Amino acid sequence: MARVKKIPLPQLIIEIFCNYLEGEFVPMIGSGYQAYQKSQILTADPKRLVLLCYEEAIQSLEFAKTKYLSKEYETKGKAVQKVLDLLNHLRDALDFERGGEIAKQLDRLYGFMIVHLLKSDRERDLKGFSEIAEMLMQLKSAWEEAMHRLPHKPLSVEPEGDLSFSLP
């Protein structure tokens, strides 16, 4: 599986956040907030950065649904694009050598989410947005539990169970 040049995850996250902190996407937030976000990202543990991506993607999906309902389609489109960017960057950051089967399963899951989000957006299916948000919440919860169990140790790369998700 060919991937484009890898950029360190913190730099990718800063790029994503800064791109969307400008303009109407995040109203009433000034450069002080941008500086705070950059600081949070640059000083965060790499495991925490994954959580930040999940949190931001979940919030952006909810924001996109709200903007769709209020017929603010351009802003909705920017929120959907932000989720797609985050999913693609999470996918690109996977380490298949160290991550083993979990990395492969996450790659397939992120790929599924991207396709499902694009289809849901095209078909104006807000239920699809909620399904993706639910999957991301499950991933976030599992990641938080893994971080809590192993606060100072590297995470295991061998799966302990099925990482599959089912849609309602």
- Report the C-alpha dihedral over residues 107, 112, 115, 119, rounded to 10 degrees: -160
Mean pLDDT of 146-161: 57
One-letter amino acid at 79 equals A
Q: Which CATH architecture has domain 46-149?
A: Up-down Bundle (1.20)
- Report the C-alpha dihedral over residues 164, 95, 153, 134, rounded to 10 degrees: -30
pLDDT digits (tens, 9 = 90+) for 111-121: 999 999 999 99
Structure token pair of residue 112: 């599924």
Mean pLDDT of 63-82: 96
- Is residue 52 very low, low, confident or very high in pLDDT (cuts 50, 70, 90)? confident
CA 30, 80, 49: angle at the middle one, nearest 5?
65
Dmax of the chain from CA atoms?
Answer: 47
Q: What is the pLDDT of residue 121?
A: 97
Distance of CA 1 to CAs 4, 58, 104, 115, 150, Å?
10, 27, 11, 18, 30
pTM higher than 0.75 = no
Q: Which residues contact 3 (CB under 8 A, 6 or more apart)?
A: 92
